[in-house]
Structure 1
Amino acid sequence: MPHVTTDDGVKLYYEEAGKGLPIVFVHEFAGDWRSWEPQMRHFARFYRCITFSARGFLPSDVPPDPSSYSQDRARDDIRSILDGLGIEKAHIVGLSMGGFATLHFGFTYPERCLSLVIGGCGYGAEPGKREQFAKEASAAADGFEQLGMEKAGASYALGPTRVQFQNNDPRGWTEFRDQLMEHSALGSANTMRGVQRMRPSLYELVEKMRTITAPTLIITGDEDWPCIEPSVLMKREIPTSALSIIPNAGHTINIETPAEFNRQIEMFLHLVDVGSWPARDPRAVSGDILGTK
């Protein structure tokens, strides 16, 4: 199996297709390398596309030590993919957990980014939701360990921002649920505790967001409630960003609404590749409402 090895010795499974400028796809907690199949098939026509399973997600290694899992590790595993494949710079596309990692990668390694797509990013970020999210993340981790993935995974797939997927595309949702139930219970529990529960709030990262220079597309579903206000925050603070909201969509937008997701990203990447993606005009944030002063 093709893999790269991280600086702490974890093997990350990857697949690639196509040629041209590279795109690295970074999956969400409930997904794995397979989650990006609609994007791999579409964008491999024009780009060198790479998808990989995060640590803790088969067939990548599942480290038993919980200390092997953190937001910084998730961020640096993207760098390990680039280094292992000899890629200097890439478009980075992430969803949810992968969106958080993409954001952190963008302000930590700006020299490695052609652009950033931050999708469905915001769970637990709002200041008033931090304690609730931490409790729910701990309970979910306990469930994966105690109940196993078949039962706990099936329940997780019916979360309040997943039912839209089930309603919009029952066949696609069933495939998503079945793949989730194949995940490692240990890897899921360790990831939930070490990455999801412990990551900093987006509201603590405002100063770092302001340093991002790579063209950035923030995208979310309009019924992905935990991500809407954090997406507005990122739009406001990242000076090279645009915000897109997909109608009648939940959290798993890359496979729930793949045609629209792909369309928007293709347009974004085209503008970036031809050098036409703008930074924000400072006059747009003067503080005036009508600009009559």
Structure 2
Amino acid sequence: MFVTAKDGVRLHVEAAGAGTPILFIHEFAGNHGSWEPQLRFFARRHRCIVYAARGYAPSDIPTDPEAYSQAIAADDAVAVLDGLGIPKAHIVGLSMGGFATVHFGLRTPERALSLTVAGAGYGAEKAYEAHFRSNSREVADNFERLGAEVFAKTYAVGASRVQFQNKDPRGWQEFADRLATHSDLGAALTMRGVQARRPSLWDLEDELKRMTVPTLVMVGDEDDHCLQPGLFLKKTIPASGLAIFPKTGHTLNLEEPAAFNAQLAEFIAQVEAGRWLPRDPRAISGEIMRTA
């Protein structure tokens, strides 16, 4: 089915299962199909929803560059819930989808039962911010000039993707084949409009400190440019926890689906039991040992 965003863009949506809803938001190099291992697991107990972001077929691919931004990406997730008549859901995002999940929690916290932010951090580190924006524009140019079918062969073997290839060559090949089907225009405009222009997480520090939505942050220990942002989110968001997956790269939900699903299931169970709480104020971060 399709739902309509507030600017008229149509978003392709798929759903499975019944129960408390979970909305999954995909990464730049994936699409709605990237969440299949999660749908097969969580649809046993939850209403699971995935959608193709704008710029990803079969959703609309706007040609106006201003139709793509971080704020629009977060609002599109709300539009999906609105289109399905869902007042609140657990929101789960990977990478680009993880950033959208953070902004969902900042912009519309009343619509989130919880937030799961996985593999989010590229461009967030201040020391790499300008480099990331330049890289993003170069990647966008490559999608336009070479096309997704050709450039996917390069993008899919990035420094935080080879872990997946080494562990699970067949799963990685499915990921790479999916990337090769991306719209050349949609990928370029998404990279320029969403990725290259989004604010650093450090720029959102004051807002994040006030956000009380239960939050799980997940990151692979070989996803180097997400490790420090993951620690930052853990230290900044009051009701947050951090899970670090060993010997793991960026594509967490596909690279380690069993571990990802188990961690997410436990988190959701604790949230629904009312047991995922803000950090105990007695757990003073600067204290090493109590002496008095």
TM-score range, shorter chain: over 0.9
Secondary structure in structure 2 of the residue aligned to 1:285: coil
TM-score normalised by structure 2 residue count: 0.99
For 2:285 and 2:36, how far apart are their aligned partners in 1? 43
2:17, 2:107 → 1: CA distance? 28
Comparing 275-284 and 187-196, the one that deviates more: 275-284
What residue number does 2:88 align with?
Answer: 89
Give % identity: 55
Q: Where does the alignment leave 5 or more consecutive residues of structure 2 unmatched?
A: none
1:172 corresponds to 2:164? no
Following the alignment from structure 1 to structure 2, what is the Cα–Cα distance between the partners of residues 53 and 282?
41
- What residue in structure 2 maps to residue 108 of structure 1? 107
What does residue 37 of structure 2 align with? 38
Post-superposition shift, 1:153?
Answer: 1.5
**Aligned-residue offset at 1:80:** 0.2
Counterpart in the other structure of 2:265:
266
The residue number in structure 1 matching 2:210 is 211
CA distance in 1, matches of 2:79, 2:107: 14
Code of the residue aligned with 2:80 in structure 1: it is I
Q: Distance in 2 between matches of 1:287 and 1:142?
A: 46
Match of 1:250 in 2: 249
Q: Deviations over 1:223-277 (max 9, x none)?
A: 0001000000000000100000011110001011100000100111111111111
Task: Tell me what 2:72 maps to.
Answer: 73
Inter-partner Cα distance in structure 1 for 2:184 and 2:17: 33
1:16-165 pair list within 5 angstroms? 16-165=15-164
Using the TM superposition, name which of 68-77 and 203-212 deviates more.
203-212
Moved >3 Å (runs of 4+): none
1:134 match: secondary structure: helix
How far residue 290 of structure 1 moved from its aligned partner, in angstroms, is: 2.0
Q: Deviations over 1:37-63 (max 9, x none)?
A: 000000000000000000001110000
Cα distance in 1 for partners of 2:267, 2:234 equals: 15
Name the amino acid aligned to 2:271: V
Q: Deviations over 1:60-80 (max 9, x none)?
A: 000001100000000000100
Deviates more, 1:224-233 or 1:277-286: 277-286
User: What letter matches 1:95 in structure 2?
Assistant: L
Q: How many Å apart are 1:287 and its aligned residue? A: 3.2
How far is the alpha carbon of 1:211 from its aligned partner?
1.5
What's the offset of the Cα at 1:291? 2.9
Aligned to 2:281: 282
Which stretch shows the higher mean deviation, 147-156 or 276-285? 276-285
Q: Residue 285 of structure 1: CA displacement? A: 2.8
Q: Letter of the aligned partner of 1:238 in structure 2? A: I
- Distance between the aligned counterparts of 1:88 and 1:4, measured in 2? 15
- Report deviation, 1:89: 0.4
TM-score (norm 1): 0.98
Structure 1 residue aligned with 2:228: 229
Letter of the structure 1 residue corresponding to residue 93 of structure 2: G
SS at match of 1:161: coil
Q: Does 1:197 align with 2:203?
A: no
Separation in 2 of the partners of 1:202 and 1:286? 21
Q: Give the aligned residue type for 1:90.
A: A
Partner of 1:121: helix, strand, or coil? coil
What is the alpha-carbon distance in structure 2 between the residues aligned to residue 177 and residue 105 of structure 1? Answer: 28
Q: CA deviation at 1:286?
A: 5.9
